[in-house]
Amino acid sequence: MWLPPPGAPGGGMTGFSVTSVANPDAWGPCDEYNKRVKSGQLRDDEHQRTIVQNLQDLHDMLAEYQAPKVVRPSIESLRPQPQSLFRSLFHIKAPKRQAEVPANPPKGLYMYGDVGSGKTMLMDLFYDTLPHNISSKTRIHFHNFMQDVHKRLHAMKMDHGTDLDAVSYIAADIAEKGSVLCFDEFQCTDVADAMILRSLLKALMSHGVVLVTTSNRHPDDLYKNGIQRASFIPCINLLKTRLRILNLDSTTDYRKIPRPPSGVYHHPLDKAASSHANRWFKFLGDFKRDPPHKASHEVWGRQIEVPQASGKAAMFTFGELIGRATGAADYLELMRSYDAFIITDVPGMTHRERDWARRFITFIDAVYESRAKLVLTTAVPLFQLFMSPEEIGEALHDGRQKGSVKHEEEHEGVEDVMRQMMDDLGMNMQMLKNSNLFTGDEERFAFSRALSRLSEMGSQEWVERGLGMEHRGGLNEKEGWQRMRSRWGEDNS
């Protein structure tokens, strides 16, 4: 439980704060947290420290970040392009101009939790200690922010008419006021907000703006049961892809060790990737009774080397596990010895790395079928692991020409389609059939199933099952799960 400063207000921000005064030194969130613990303002708590370390990771990346110069679009460039004769005859809408998000900005944060989880205090820690090179920053309650956006949209329509992409123009204006934008209490309950949020947030990100936000809800629960919610799903996907999702509500296992606040998958391979892997390795392993060490296992007269093992957890780099000539028999032996795997530095694999991809998919299948845990740090989002955006784009184009894939809707782009593929095995197969990268239906199915299984293994239900989390039954739940895995080991010996 978070302990606020004596006499501090309990509510969040209600006003608009644009600041141009930089933090004069290298003081970061961890320093400020330690100061408050020492002064008695906060209780020292392991879960709190894990959250604050995520803030510190972003702080350190921002210290080396130089936001690109904001290029304001002209009014004429934001008007729709003329329709082609073909599109006019067949009533096909021209695709909306998509803002491209640059690859280099630090990944922002989305922190969610119940009332009393310390959202306001955490935002204070982060915002007040931003590094000196962030010369301008903006903090605002999300409701006030959206009210201001709607006022600006109305003014734009009055001045320039409705046939205009006013959202992109307003996003450039907001980006000029701060390269770091912090929202208190992100939520979406209004259809008018839902219809513009995705294009607004993506336009802000295209200018290199780093977003940090708090909320009461996980992104998947935003705008639940709202009107036209299908059109809002791409916004949820954008948040989950471009921001690091942190659960502020402390959950502990039977050892009283708090679960890491982030999900098990992390991208890109930034400065926070290493701390993500180490945090999960410490939680899934048993550092106290079995400190990390090298291990070796024999399969058919040869040795499988495990670079780091602790308890029932093993950690490899992608090169150490997949870069070597390993196969199904090796993975099966590892499943008998460990029930959690942390794999770091996973690259994106295109047609040039098909051998790596096939090996990795075999490993994913072994993890899934043994009901083990999988933690990854990857260079690209999961849905780009086996096909690049360019390859998906080509498959989309071919499928639309053949009529096997629907034409692009206004809220859809290549990333949206790739995200849907993670959760829809049938759609995944249909997309891959339009690609020349696979040798047959069996290989297409293996790639499709791997994406679907990765999605399932990243769920809270999968991750927490068998860990002995207190809210799931503690040690009794863990022992029951271990008996189930033991039976699996016997069946596959």
Which residues make beta-bridge pairs with 211? 181
Instruction: Compute and round to an integer the Cα radius of gyration of the chain.
Output: 24
**pLDDT 10s per residue in the chain (493 long)?**
344 443 343 344 444 555 554 555 578 999 999 999 999 998 888 888 999 999 999 999 999 998 888 888 888 888 876 655 554 554 444 445 555 666 678 999 999 998 888 899 999 999 999 998 998 899 999 999 999 999 999 998 898 888 888 999 999 999 998 899 999 999 998 888 998 998 999 999 999 999 999 999 999 999 998 888 888 988 998 999 899 999 998 777 777 778 888 899 999 999 899 999 999 999 999 999 999 999 999 888 888 999 999 999 999 999 999 998 889 999 999 999 999 999 999 999 876 788 898 899 999 999 999 999 999 999 998 888 887 777 777 766 676 676 655 555 544 555 555 555 555 545 555 555 555 555 656 676 777 788 889 989 998 889 988 888 877 788 888 888 778 777 777 677 6
- Beta-strand runs (E) in 395-493: none
Which residues make beta-bridge pairs with 303? 298
Identify the residue whose tokens are 């933690």: 375
- Select from 72, 38, 71, 34 the least CA-distant residue to 52: 34
- In the 8-state DSSP scheme, what is residue 19? E
pLDDT at 109: 97
pLDDT at 5: 40
Which residues make beta-bridge pairs with 265? 376
The DSSP annotation for 100-139 comes to PPPS-SPPEEEEE--TTS-HHHHHHHHHHT--TT---EEE
pLDDT at 440: 59
The Cα 135–Cα 445 span in angstroms is 50
8 Å CB contact between 157 and 164: yes
- In the 8-state DSSP scheme, what is residue 351? G
pLDDT at 411: 43
The Cα 212–Cα 220 span in angstroms is 17
Q: How large is the greatest C-alpha to C-alpha distance in the chain, in angstroms?
A: 78
The Cα 212–Cα 288 span in angstroms is 35
The Cα 119–Cα 358 span in angstroms is 43
CA atoms within a 13 Å half-sphere pointing along the CA-CB vector of 169: 18
The Cα 423–Cα 448 span in angstroms is 10
Where residue 30 falls (left for φ over 0; alpha for ψ -120 to 50; beta otherwise) is alpha
3-state class of 213 per DSSP? strand
Strand pairing class (16-19; 137-141): antiparallel
- Beta-strand runs (E) in 177-312: 180-184, 210-215, 243-247, 265-266, 293-299, 302-310
The Cα 335–Cα 342 span in angstroms is 13
Identify the residue whose tokens are 């009529």: 403
The Cα 334–Cα 309 span in angstroms is 11
- In the 8-state DSSP scheme, what is residue 30? H
